[in-house]
């Protein structure tokens, strides 16, 4: 885990950052349905898992901009920039109706990420422990799938949530509408680190990456 401390006096969004960390402490959560037609089709035809393919693209997008790799260290009050962030996702056990946290390290190499993520999921299914450990996973963002519903809105509330900068991502089941396969995706970011434009970029970049993935699968 490598990071650098952000010099807030030189930060390009300095005034906005100060406003949303001092005067108006808040986060922003936006839900939008993205077109995953190409990804669903390509996953099916290649025999690969849609879930892992999407998780790879999501991780790639969130690593593409420094704005999404920021975090606040509660202990010191420092705002840092990680060189890389990784997805912490979850496996559901139907028999106990509980979850196990899965830590999958992001690799820009699709094949490496896919194979390692498969191993991580298999291990989580075997251990069946909740395994949430933020202390040793400071540069991990939360990625949670809700396969039971296709929703219109979702909000995440955190005690003192304005101190948490890393993205919190949720998505639901996709369904076909007007010839397209659409999937609800929720992006939650600290308003000090991201505004409407930067949150919107997550959605648009994801759809762009979906089109590019055909070259990798």
* Residue 87 DSSP class: E
Cα torsion for 40, 42, 44, 46, to the nearest 10°?
Answer: -150
- Is the pLDDT at 52 greater than 80? The verdict is yes
Identify the residue with better confidence: 146 or 26.
146
- Is the pLDDT at 199 greater than 90? The verdict is yes
The ranges assigned to domains in the chain are 3-215
- Is the pLDDT at 212 greater than 90? The verdict is no
pLDDT band at 213 (very low <50, low <70, confident <90, very high): confident
Query: What's the confidence (pLDDT) of residue 1?
Result: 81
Query: What's the confidence (pLDDT) of residue 135?
Result: 79
pLDDT band at 205 (very low <50, low <70, confident <90, very high): very high
Residue that the structure tokens 């991502």 belong to: 169
pLDDT band at 188 (very low <50, low <70, confident <90, very high): very high
- Is the pLDDT at 46 greater than 90? The verdict is yes
Q: Which residues of 175-209 are buried (b: 16+ CB within 10 A; e: fewer)?
A: eeeeeebbbbbbbbbbbbbbeeebbebbbebbeeb
Q: Note the pLDDT tens digit of each residue in 73-121.
A: 988 889 999 999 999 999 999 999 999 999 999 999 999 999 999 999 9
Overall average pLDDT of the 141-162 stretch:
88
- Is the pLDDT at 132 greater than 80? The verdict is no
CB 129 within 8 A of CB 7: no
- 97: tokens are 């109706």
pLDDT band at 134 (very low <50, low <70, confident <90, very high): confident
* Top-level class of domain 3-215: alpha beta
pTM above 0.85, yes or no: yes
- Is the pLDDT at 217 greater than 70? The verdict is no
| Cα–Cα distance list, 201 to 30, 68, 84, 212 (Å) | 12, 11, 18, 16
């Amino acid at each position: 885990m490598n990071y650098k401390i952000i010099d807030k006096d030189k930060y390009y969004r300095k005034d906005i950052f100060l406003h949303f960390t001092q005067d108006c402490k808040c986060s922003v959560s936006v839900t939008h349905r993205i077109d995953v037609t190409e990804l669903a089709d390509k996953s099916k035809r290649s025999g690969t898992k849609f879930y892992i393919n999407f998780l790879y693209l999501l991780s790639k997008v969130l690593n593409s901009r420094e704005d999404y790799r920021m975090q606040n260290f509660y202990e010191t009050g420092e705002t840092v920039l990680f060189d890389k962030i990784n997805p912490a996702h979850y496996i559901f056990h139907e028999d106990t109706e509980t979850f196990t946290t899965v830590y999958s390290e992001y690799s820009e190499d699709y094949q490496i990420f896919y194979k390692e993520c498969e191993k991580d999921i298999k291990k989580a299914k075997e251990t069946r422990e909740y395994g949430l450990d933020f202390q040793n996973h400071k540069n991990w963002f939360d990625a949670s799938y809700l396969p039971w519903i296709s929703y219109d809105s979702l909000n995440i509330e955190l005690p003192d949530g304005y101190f948490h900068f890393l993205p919190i991502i949720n998505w639901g089941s996709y369904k076909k509408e007007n010839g397209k396969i659409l999937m609800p995706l929720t992006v939650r970011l600290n308003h000090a680190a991201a505004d409407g434009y930067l949150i919107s970029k997550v959605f648009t970049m994801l759809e762009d990456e979906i089109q590019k993935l055909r070259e990798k699968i």
